[in-house]
Structure formats: C-alpha cells, structure tokens
Chains A and B, each alone.
Chain A
Amino acid sequence: RAAQGRTYGNLGNSHYLLGNFQDAVLAHEQRLLIAKEFGDRAAERRAYCNLGNAYIFLGQFEAAAEHYKRTLQLARQLKDRAVEAQACYSLGNTYTLLQDYERAIDSHLKHLIIAQDLKDRIGEGRACWSLGNAYTALGNHEQAMSFAEKHLEISKEIGDRS
C-alpha cells in the first residue's frame, strides 16, 4: 500500500509534466488518500501542493486556492518555513488570478516576511514584484511605487536584468 502511494505520486507527476492535468488530479487524489491512511503528513502536504498546481492549469482557481490553503496549514504543522513561503506565494498568485487583490496582498506579505527571515533575496524580489502589481490593481500607487523600487533594488543586487 505504501508503494502504491508513492507510485500514484510519481504517476501524477508524470501526467502533470506531460500536460495531462485531469489524469494528474486523479492520481494525486489517490496519493492523498493513501497518505491519509498512513498519517503521512509530509506526503499529504506534497499531494495537496501537486493538486493545487494541476488545478491552476485546469483553470480551476478556487479549487487550487483550497488545496494551497491545506498545503500551507500542513507546512506550518511540519514547521517547514521554505515550504510555507512557497505556499504563500502560490496562494498569492492564485488570488491574483481570481482578482481578489486584498487576499493576494495578504499572502504575498506573508511570503515576503518569510523570505526576509530566510534571507532569500530572489523570493523577496518576487514578493515585491507581486505586491507592486497587486497594489497597482487596487489603485494604491504609493505602495505600488514603494514595492517597485524595492524590486528594482533587489533585481540589481542579484543581477536580474530582465
């Protein structure tokens, strides 16, 4: 049964990389079921994240957000800060796709704080870029400018010309 769980996970990832997102969802749902049977929260966390990603490419953004929220809860329970940051970033982008900019800002700010704690300058730069865009969408140009300046500063520092 444990091997079945791992195999469903691998199968889901193969379907995903081939662009078969519906088949990826079916496989990762099986992986999730088996992870729950075993109380394997790390595997459960991975399955939720993989499901969230597949739902993005199926255009089902509400479903993606629900799965990323579970990813975030489990990342916190597992005390994995890098994964927590990644889940916040995914959630922020998903809320942006849903045009829910207040929630997007909330998630991107959480990502920003963790990126700063972890001294992850690339993550920090991406959070600033995302925040600048979300504030622009809300018409808050002063905040947008502030984050755009921060994004520029970090991009120069890390040599990201694009």
Chain B
Amino acid sequence: KCFRMHAIQVDSVQRWMEDLRHMTEVE
C-alpha cells in the first residue's frame, strides 16, 4: 500500500520535473 501511495504521489511531481528539466530563468 505504501508503495502504491508513493507512486500516486510521484505522478504530479514527475510531470513538474519533466517541465522543469527544460526551464531556465534567462538573463
């Protein structure tokens, strides 16, 4: 159950990290 909860938890975070990987604050 804990593993499943963790997997659920990660899905919105993973989406954020996918976007973050290409994001920079440009000078």
A43's nearest neighbour on chain B, judged by CB, is B27
A53 adjacent to chain B (CB < 8 Å):
yes
Binding site for B on A (CB under 8 A): 6, 9-10, 13, 16-17, 43, 45-47, 49-50, 53, 56-57, 89-90, 93, 96-97, 99, 126, 129-130, 133-134, 136-137
Given that A89-B16, A93-B13 are known contacts, is A53 also in contact with B23, CB under 8 Å in the complex? yes
Chain B interface (Cβ within 8 Å of chain A)?
A: 5, 8-9, 11-13, 15-17, 20-27
A19 to B17, alpha carbons, bound, how many Å? 13
Candidates B16, B21, B27; contact of A10 at CB < 8 Å = B27
A residues within 8 A CB of B8?
A: 133, 136-137
Closest 7 pairs between A and B when the two form their complex, measured CB to CB? A46-B25, A13-B24, A9-B27, A6-B27, A93-B16, A129-B12, A130-B12
Contacts of A129 in B (CB 8 A): 12
